[in-house]
Structure formats: C-alpha cells, structure tokens
Amino acid sequence: MMTVRFPDGTSVQYNTACFVSYGDHYHQLRDRQDGTLIAIVPSSAIVELVTACRVYNSVQNKALDRMIAVESELRNLKRNLAKVLKGKQ
C-alpha cells in the first residue's frame, strides 16, 4: 500500500500499489515492478508506504472539526438562553 500526499494537503492511498517508478515530471505506481499500472501522480507529490486506507484533506478536516465544535457551542448557548428566559416569566 502506498499513500500519495499532494502539495494542497490531500492524501490518497492506493491499496494495491507496491512499486513506484520515479520520473522527472511524474511517478508511476504499480502492483509490482513490471506489473499493472495503478496510477500516475505528479512528481511534486510525496509517495510513501503506509498501512491505513483513506482519502482525506487535513485542512478541510480541521475546518469541519471546528465547525462541529461551534455548532455544539451554539446549541448550548440556545439551551441556556431558553432557561434564562423561562426563569424571567
């Protein structure tokens, strides 16, 4: 298995890739040295061996986590405001 990390933060894992041919402008991922071509990636990407399987963008994941936290805080504020307003009646 190989993961390709792109300059924008996106990472793609190829489960069947076991061999990489490095080139000046692109790299070829294959299942073995003279095997099936799996992907061609730009040479600006980093190719690494990994064991997990996922596609993600770490920048977007952090933003999503923060958005979920803000939504939770907003629900808590609404709940507390409703309690305060109910107590004033």
* pLDDT band, residue 28 (cuts 50/70/90): very high
Asked if 46 and 71 sit in the same domain, the reply is no
Q: Are both 71 and 84 inside the same structural domain?
A: yes
Residues 62 and 43 in one domain: no
Parent domain of 78:
58-89
Statement to judge: residues 48 and 62 lie in one domain: no
List the end-to-end C-alpha distance of the chain, in Å, as a whole number.
64
Backbone angles phi, psi at 26, to 5 degrees: -155, 160
pTM over cut 0.95: no
**Do 1 and 28 sit in the same domain of this protein?**
yes
**Cα separations in angstroms, 27 against 14, 44, 45:** 13, 9, 9
Stretch 3-25: mean pLDDT, rounded? 90
Mean pLDDT of 36-54: 84
Cβ atoms of 39 and 14 within 8 Å: the answer is: yes
Domain count, the chain: 2
